[in-house]
Structure formats: C-alpha cells, structure tokens
Structure 1
C-alpha cells in the first residue's frame, strides 16, 4: 500500500504544453547555421535532455563534435535559445494541452500540492505565458539543479521544496528519460505517449486528454 498522495509533479514540455515543435524549429535553425541537416526524427533523440546534451548530439550527428571549443558551444546553445525565445513569444493559455486544466483543477480541489520539474531554462516564462505559474507551489528548472534527466535530482528537488516524501508523489512525464528520473526518485510514474517508449512508467496514457485524476489515484493506491 502506498503512502497517501500529497503532491503531483509535472514535466512541462509535452505534458502541460507542446513546446517541442518550437524547440525543434530552434535547433533546426541553429543546425542549418553550422551546416548540419536536422530532421524531426533526429529531434526525438533530444526529448527530456538538457540544452548542452542536445547540442552535443546534434554536433555528433553532423560529425562536428570536435569542431568547437567549450566557449563556442556555449555561444551556440545561447543562439539556439534566442531562436526559441523568439518563437515562444506567441504562447497563450490556448496552448495548454487538452485535459491538463481539468486535471490541475481536480488536484487543487483535493488540496494536494503541485510542482513542476522541467529541464527548460525558460520554464517560468512559459508557465507565465500559459497563465499557470500561480497554480504551482514549486517550479524547479535547469537553474536549480546540477544533473538533468534521467538523473532523479530534479524530482527529488521538487519533493524537497514541496516538503513531501517522494513515496507520496506522482510524477507526469512524456519522455523515457523523464520516467527514469521519476522512478529513480522512488515516485509513482504517469507516462503520456507511447507505451513502448514509456514502458517503465506505472501507468501510460496515449494523450493528455485521457488523463483521469480518479484513475491515477486508484492506480497509485493499488501500487
């Protein structure tokens, strides 16, 4: 029997809103600038990992992993972020994925805590644009951690700041690295996406509109 539920901790990209397309377009623009062809298929490999790790993967893809100094790589990552910030200026509450608002309302109605665990350095700006920042008790982004997903640090940090035990938390993720992070933190994992990709999750929903507070709680209590 699990501990009574105290908190839900959400990933941002692909769970609350789909900024994946904006990240893809920003990386594609950067890759083009340095002579690398970057496709949507390539972009799948970047899900849930940090900006610098993503850059390393793209450079390796183009056989340019040894072409840039550490400082130059940091400049490239900053340039990608500039592209991304320009693109996300158009985000509004209409960009919240289906089913997320009702789920958040149910969580708040039951007096549970809400945390965000996103490796995006722009998480706070995106949450403000979505009109959701004030609904969350804690927002943990890349600035607050040393290790990105799949390391459990981001979910452990969110639980610590929420002042709850990890066994009393439910984490929501759309990436395999994120699910690994949740499970590494000894939390109950809800996956959004493909069952094959998210097979380590305790329960998987193919899309956000199918998320059910009652069903998630039943699964959690039965775990």
Structure 2
C-alpha cells in the first residue's frame, strides 16, 4: 500500500460520493419502465448504479417479459426521454444536496495543496457540480463522450488521473459502487470505497459514510 505522503490528488465519482443524484436517476428510469409496461424492482435500481445511460436502458429492456426488441434509434429516443425527465429533476439541486462531510473534505484538500478531478459516467456532471457550487474545486471533469468503455473498465479513472498530471500511485480514487472500485484499481490508483456496495470490491481504504471522510482518517488507514 502507498504511503500517505505519496498522495498528491484525488479522482472523484459523483453520484453517491459528492451528492446523491442516484435517487433522481432511479425515479426517471422507474417512470420510463412504467411507460413501457416493465415492472420495476429494487434489484433493477441497485444494478443501475455507476453504469452508463445506454447500459442502464439495455438492462431494463432485458427484463421486459414480452421481450420486445428496439432499434438503436428507438433506444436512443428512450434514453433521451429518460434524460430529459432526469434533467427536470436535477434542476432542483442546490449546495444543500452535497453529501455530509464532502464540502469540508474538499476545503481541507485544497488548503493542503491537493488537486482533484471528476470521473463520472454522467453527461450531466458539469451542470450538477455548477448547481452544487463545487466546480472550482476540480481541475477537470472527464467527458463521457470520449470513453469507449464503462466501469468496471478503468478507462474513466485513467483519464481522470491524466487530468491531474499525476502518476497513478499518487492518486486516491473515491467510489460508492463496486464497479467503480474495480475501475480505480485497474487504473493503478488507490481505491477508497464509501458505503456497503463499495466494500464488496475490497478497496484499499473504506468508510461507511461520507462524513467520516477526512485527510486525517485516510492517513490513519494508510498507516495501519
């Protein structure tokens, strides 16, 4: 395991780490499933976390008991419909929606000279960060349009690390999903998992909730 003194930057997932927009994603997908006559379940909702829009749509359509087939154009229309609904929901986001402890962690991180970037599969990440008033904390956001693979492929965290201009061994990646933790590990960064879902992928560092995330607590775990 790396030494705390080696760490110079952080790559952040967005949903479930900085804010919880997963509830908006789930509401929008749930409504789309209802429109298509597909029965929704909590299991579907859990499996959608951390994966791309089209992958999420394919997963939902695969549960259709009628097995209806859609063309790529029809799928794109469905995905666009879901995203339009999602964007109306996230329009209500404010700085009050930042998860507990994250703002103070970001403040301390910048004060101590660390840099950070965002590795989110969401094309809405820039607008969400703007509504949270957190844009200035990050040197950049990976553009999902430049990605060939989704998590657990490490591509997005590799690109997030490149935005920091640091070596992977100098970076800690933060995730709340097992696929994301696997992606961080694959990118050669130190994985910090938050919550029970992330723990299943055995991250090097782990916190049960965001309010326990501090530089001092990270240092303690790396020193064990």
TM-score of the pair, normalised by structure 1: 0.94
Cα distance change on mapping 1:148 and 1:65 into 2, 3 Å? farther
Written as runs of structure 1 = structure 2, the 5 A alignment for 1:40-79 is 40-63=42-65, 66-79=68-81
Query: Conserved in 1, the CA contact under 8 Å of 2:178 and 2:197?
Result: no
Using the alignment, how far apart are the partners of 2:17 and 2:186 within structure 1? 19
The equivalent position to 1:173 in structure 2, one of 145, 151, 175, is: 175
Give the structure 1 partner of residue 29 of structure 2. 27
Aligned positions, number: 222
Using the alignment, how far apart are the partners of 2:8 and 2:87 within structure 1? 34
State the secondary structure of the residue aligned to 2:62: helix
TM-score of the pair, normalised by structure 2: 0.94
Tell me how far 1:46 sits from its aligned partner: 0.8
Tell me how far 1:63 sits from its aligned partner: 3.6
Query: Conserved in 2, the CA contact under 8 Å of 1:194 and 1:204?
Result: no
Q: Give me the CA root mean square deviation.
A: 1.7
Query: Conserved in 1, the CA contact under 8 Å of 2:176 and 2:198?
Result: no
Query: Conserved in 2, the CA contact under 8 Å of 1:10 and 1:171?
Result: yes
Cα distance change on mapping 1:195 and 1:46 into 2, 3 Å? closer
Any stretches of 5+ residues in structure 2 without a counterpart?
none
1:113-162, Cα deviation, whole Å (9 max, x unpaired) = 11110000100010000000111111114123221111100110011121
Tell me how far 1:14 sits from its aligned partner: 0.5
The equivalent position to 1:113 in structure 2, one of 102, 112, 115, is: 115
Query: Conserved in 2, the CA contact under 8 Å of 1:24 and 1:40?
Result: no
Using the alignment, how far apart are the partners of 1:111 and 1:63 within structure 2? 54
Tell me how far 1:197 sits from its aligned partner: 4.5
Tell me how far 1:41 sits from its aligned partner: 2.8
Using the alignment, how far apart are the partners of 1:208 and 1:7 within structure 2? 18
Tell me how far 1:76 sits from its aligned partner: 0.6
Cα distance change on mapping 1:65 and 1:156 into 2, 3 Å? farther
Give the structure 1 partner of residue 129 of structure 2. 127
Give the structure 1 partner of residue 189 of structure 2. 187
Using the alignment, how far apart are the partners of 2:114 and 2:67 within structure 1? 45
Cα distance change on mapping 1:184 and 1:87 into 2, 3 Å? same
Any stretches of 5+ residues in structure 1 without a counterpart?
none
Give the structure 1 partner of residue 2 of structure 2. 2
Query: Conserved in 1, the CA contact under 8 Å of 2:105 and 2:215?
Result: yes
Tell me how far 1:52 sits from its aligned partner: 0.5
Using the alignment, how far apart are the partners of 1:95 and 1:71 within structure 2? 35
Tell me how far 1:13 sits from its aligned partner: 0.2
Give the structure 2 partner of residue 86 of structure 1. 88
